[in-house]
Structure formats: structure tokens, C-alpha cells
Amino acid sequence: MEVDTSDPLVQRKLQRLAQLKRDYGLAFYTPHRKQDMFHAAGEFKRRYVRTGNRFGKSELGAAEDCAWARGERPWYSKGDERRTIGLPERATKGLIIVADWDKAEEIFTDTTIDSDGMAKGKLLKYLPKSEIKLGRKNNAGVVGEIKVKSIHGGWSTIRMDTVKSFKANPMGQESSDWDWIHVDEPCPEDMWKANSRGLVDRAGSAWFTCTPINEAWINDQFVPGRRTRISQDKPLVVEKKRGAVTLRTWMITGSSSDNPYLNAEGLALFEESLTEAEKQCRLHGLPLALSGLVYKAFKYDEHVLESKPHGWVDELTPPDSYMLRVAIDTHPETPHAVLFEATSPTGIRFYYAELFRKCLIKELADAIHEMTGGGFVQEFLCDPSAFIEYPNDGSSMSDVFFECGIPVEKAPKDLQRGILSTEAALGRRIDSPKGMKIPQLYFGSHCAETIWEFDHYEWDVRKDNKPIDKHDHMMENLYRLTITHPGYIDPKQDEEATIIPFTKRYDPDMNVAHYGLNIEKKDQRRPRYG
């Protein structure tokens, strides 16, 4: 049935409706499905809407900001728990973090009136004009603070700060107490830490509504490891124990296509202008930093084992028939990194344990013995820096390893070949005994540092064919084990390999001869890689 808009009565009703929207815009906010899921999760202290552009994330963020300032979400009917869930019954003080003051005005406080008679700034569009007080314009000529009348009495405060201001003067960040923080633009982690301290006294809440470009730390707050099974339809809820307190975070992944109000042709034209990496970020919300990962073939769901492998006594004890190898990355300042590899007779490689600790080499050797207790280790590959002699006495870290019963060999230093070989191995599938195609490489879920590095080991955009020189200790161990892998060798049949049995009763003070190793002949051992 068509409405006759020329009818005077209809016109008056339409005019009345338009006036109500101008006066009480927040009540007319209509969230789409995923925006609604965000608002309904108001009891969570940390929420993250990880989406592409044009999802409506600033819209939902501004609506939530206004709701916290007013004390209710009036677009839900009275009696609906979503109307007040998570909201304090008092006036509040909140902070919005934006890119710069131009964006702050454009998105939130633009007083320009549009064709519908409403202010363009989202805060001003949603809040009743009679119940807000605009602060004075700052040095940038922008209103950076708004006072809002709360339904609980008193006045709430909405303040804004910019990433640009922080980068110009990191020490100038104002200290304040906050009930809530809305991160509309990805900001440096230091900026978040500086401001989030203000949430402590009030046990405040925070929500992130941004397209993650380079600030991967935001993703780390909500996603434990690289979990490719994140649902596009269901939120990811993560619980973290902090002493007696359980912290719960909430995240939803969205894309531009979730917004039913977008122009399809305009979206298609926008997509045409993007690279494949940019499409994943700007359309689907995948952090752009993750698109620059070195090892894109790594998939948490496929490569990480949540339980012990079939036939193992436990997650840390491979069967006797497995070939064991160890890679060691020593460092004088950062923690030493050790990765343990077990290869099955069928050629499947399990990276079943790791050590990542700052300690003396003797202490590290003791820990390695503990981890390999009862097994036969055929090879210890060690970073070449461990073989550099100290100028004072001519000894080296490798000498300490030998003295502790660990006959280390100099590992190769061939980063480019190592990365290519490791990426290929991650993507390789082999036949299982049951005839299924399975990955050749597996990692224990308790190898937290290794899995974390997979998610942070990135290409340096300023350098050709080189990754950023950080978050790479386990990655170096992995590529060295990969490019030197001889294929499966029965540990009890390989007479040429150095096979040393260890027990968990290892005593670092025991004579090295206990292990059948003649230190004086260390340089006479069969050279392999280096």
C-alpha cells in the first residue's frame, strides 16, 4: 500500500517523525545483525569489532558511546536487557581515540546540518540538543569534549584524543579516570597502555571498532594464537585467568558485506582498487600485518595439536622409534630459544617442545637434558654465534655445551633458503597410515612461543626478501631444522650420527665421560652443516 505524501495529515506526521529523529536520534538507531550482537555483549569489559571498511563500526561505536553517556540504549524497548546491560547507573566519563582532529570532527562532532536537518557528527546526531553542552574548541579548532545529561542524574563527559597528538608528544598524555574507552582508530600500544591505566579504579570497559592496519597488538588482545577457525557468524569469547580474577574478552569478525545499507555497485568499485592483501584487511577485517606474515601456510587448525599424538605416552615423550633433533638459538641478552623435533618412521615431523628462557648456558643445558630424558638425540644444531671465542680465554658457549654433555654442531645461516623450505614443508601433505592426506609438520599447543612467532614474524616492507629482525628465535630454529633434515633415520641404526642417551636424573656436575663423549675430539666429529 502506497502512502499519499501529498496528504496534509501524512505530511504533518512525517514532519513530526523528522523532528523526533532530530531531537532523539539515538532512539531511531537501527543496528544490523552484527552491530546488535556487539551491543548485546555489553557485560564484557573488552569488546572488539574486527571488520573491514563500511561495516558501520564507527556508527555502532558512536551509538555505544552515547548510550554510556545517557545511561541507556533507547533503541531497545523497555524491559529488554540489552537496553541497559553493562551500563553503570550513574553519570560516566569516557574517552574516544581517533586518528587526528580532522577525523574527530568529521566523524563525531561536526555541527554541519545535513539535508535531513541533523548534525553530521555522529555524537550530535544521536544526542538530544537540549541535553548536551559542547566544550570549547581546542587549538585545532575542534570541539574535543561534550557534556551529556545522564538519565541517572548529573552530567556525563565524552572526551576525545588523537593518535597524531600522542605520536607528537607521548609524554603529554593526560592522566585521568575513565568509565570507558572507545578506540575508533588503531593506536600504538603505548598509547593504549597510557590511557587504559585510567580504567583501573572504575573497573572500566573498552571497545575497539577499527580496521586493523598495522597495529597487530589489538588482535593479540582478543585472539590467543593464530586461530583460523574464527567464525564469521559467532563471536570469539576468550577467558584469561589473572590470579583469582577471570578476564573475559569478546570479538566479532565482520566484513563490508554485513552492512545491508551499502550500495553494491559502489562496494564493487572500491574492491577493484585494492590489492589482495588490502581486500582481506579493508573488506574482511583481517589485520594487514597478518597479510605480511612470512609463513602464510601455517594454519592453527591444521598444524597445532591440542592433545598428544597417537601412540605417544604423553605430549612430551615421543616413542623410541622416533628420530629426535634439537635446535638451539643462544643470545647474550634476550632469552635462549630451543626447539625439539621428533620425526616419525612415516616422515611426520612433530615439534613437541620448546624452551624459551634467559639463563646461564649450564642451566639451559640442564633443561635440555630434562626435556630429552630417556631418548636418543641424534643432532644438536646451534646458532653460529655460540661458537665465537671469548677474547679473554678463547672459550665459547659451545664449549660449555660440550662440557655439559651436549655436542652442538654449527647450524647453517641461510635465511632465504630456510624460509622457502619451511613454507613448502608447512604446505606439504603426506599420506597417513589410514590413507588420508595430513600435514607433514605438527606443533604442540603448549609451544606457545613458537605459535606466537608464527603470528608476528613479518616481512620488512622496506627490505626485499627479508623479514623484520624480531620475533624470530623459534623461527630460526625451525628453518635450520628444516633445511638440514636428512629424512627419517632409525635412531638405533644410524651409526654415523651422534646418538646420546639421556636420563631425567641428569646431574650437571657429573663428569662428561658419563655420556661417552670425548671433548678433546669434538673437532674431529663428522662435519655436517657448517
For strand 500-501 and strand 336-343, is the pairing parallel, antiparallel, or unpaired?
unpaired
CA distance 515 to 501: 8
What CATH number is given for 303-508 in this structure?
A: 3.30.420.280
Over the stretch 264-314, which tens digit does the pLDDT of each residue have?
Answer: 666 666 666 666 556 666 666 666 555 578 888 898 889 999 889 988 988
Residue 484 to residues 286, 401, 418, 421, 454, Cα–Cα distance (Å)? 34, 21, 9, 10, 20
What are the helix (H) ranges across 330-375? 361-371
Q: What share of the chain is helix, strand, coil (3-state, %, to 5)?
A: 35, 20, 45
Topology match between the domains 28-224+231-291 and 303-508: no
Residues 6+ apart with CB under 8 A from 218: 48, 183, 186, 208, 210, 212, 287
Over the stretch 346-369, which tens digit does the pLDDT of each residue have?
Answer: 999 999 999 999 999 999 998 998
If phi > 0 it is left, if psi is from -120 to 50 it is alpha, else beta; for residue 278 that is: alpha
Q: Which amino acid, 443?
A: F
Residue 483 to residues 102, 140, 340, 412, 495, Cα–Cα distance (Å)? 52, 56, 15, 9, 22
Could you tell me how many residues make up the chain? 530
What number of H helices and E strands is found in the chain? 17, 19
Burial of 425 (0-12, 13-18, 19+ CB in 10 A): buried
Burial of 151 (0-12, 13-18, 19+ CB in 10 A): middle
If phi > 0 it is left, if psi is from -120 to 50 it is alpha, else beta; for residue 198 that is: alpha
Distance of CA 373 to the CA centre of its chain: 34
Q: If we measure between CA atoms, which residue out of 130, 112, 128, 129 comes closest to residue 120?
A: 112
pLDDT along the chain (530 residues), means of 10: 66 69 85 94 94 83 96 96 97 96 93 81 90 91 95 96 90 80 91 92 93 72 65 83 86 77 65 62 59 82 89 89 94 91 94 94 90 79 93 87 92 90 92 85 93 85 72 94 92 59 38 32 30
Domain range list for the chain:
28-224+231-291, 303-508
Q: 3-state DSSP call for residue 458?
A: strand
Q: If we measure between CA atoms, which residue out of 464, 24, 34 comes closest to residue 285?
A: 34
CA distance 378 to 375: 10
- The pTM of this model reads 0.61
Task: Return the CATH architecture of domain 28-224+231-291.
Answer: 3-Layer(aba) Sandwich (3.40)
Contact in structure between 109 and 146 (CB atoms under 8 Å): yes
**How much is the pLDDT for 463?**
60
Residues 6+ apart with CB under 8 A from 519: 402, 403, 512
Q: How far apart are the first and last CA of the chain?
A: 83
Q: Which amino acid, 430?
A: I
Contact in structure between 239 and 246 (CB atoms under 8 Å): yes
CA distance 409 to 406: 9
CA distance 32 to 26: 15
For strand 132-134 and strand 93-98, is the pairing parallel, antiparallel, or unpaired?
unpaired
**How much is the pLDDT for 218?**
84
Q: If we measure between CA atoms, which residue out of 38, 483, 470, 4 comes closest to residue 254?
A: 38
